[in-house]
Amino acid sequence: MSRVRQFTIVFHNVKDDAKPQVEAYFDSIGYEKFLQAMEPYPQSDGYHIHVFVQFKNPRRFTAMLEQMKNLSKRIMAVKPEGCQTDWGRVQIDRMYGTFDQATAYLKGETKDKPLDPNVELKDKRKDALMEKYLAAVSQYHQIYWYPQFGEYLSIQDLIQKSQAARIPIPQYYLQLQQFIFSCDNI
């Protein structure tokens, strides 16, 4: 089968403490976006976990299915004696739709059954961008000594004074300012 970047996965008949284990597993294999919810079955005992995940690079569907089957063995609840149903199955498919739609589904905006109150989208791309943004803003507002003006200035003030005095501005400072302004508009 083809290579896929986004998957929707359902683990059936999981332990009641499986959610952190699933998150730790996906964190270890690396993802760009990750969303999960653990829900009780509406008509019977037990839980199942929904996972929506996006990877940076496409993955083989069959390899992903094997990985999820192995993970399922670690998080599966003990099968009750006399149970005749298929126990601990894993459903996996290509994810269609957006993470906003997946979040709405898991928060119950499109279904009528017991919900997981702790549904939170984890987006490593946005987290990494936020870290860069905060570092850039910190540097942008830091005060430095500029001998050409004989005073301490922030990069923001240096750019304004240099423009007013028609002094060339180092390219790095302009790139830093452009990055900060581009992030402000996200």
The tally of CA atoms less than 13 A away on the side-chain side of residue 60 is: 5
The residue extents of the domains of the chain are 3-120, 127-184
Q: What is the pLDDT of residue 84?
A: 76
Report whether 10 contacts 69 (CB < 8 A): no
Rounded-to-integer distance, Cα 134 and Cα 3, Å: 35
Distance between alpha carbon 142 and the CA centroid of its chain, in Å? 31
Its pTM stands at 0.66
CATH topology (fold) of 3-120: Replication Protein E1; Chain: A, (3.40.1310)
Task: List the strands of the sheet with 3-14, edge to edge.
Answer: 90-94, 3-14, 47-60, 33-40, 122-123
Q: What is the pLDDT of residue 125?
A: 73
Q: Which residues in the chain come in under a pLDDT of 70?
A: 1-2, 109-117, 184-186
Residue 167 is predicted with a pLDDT of 82
Cα–Cα nearest to 39, from 112, 114, 126, 119: 114
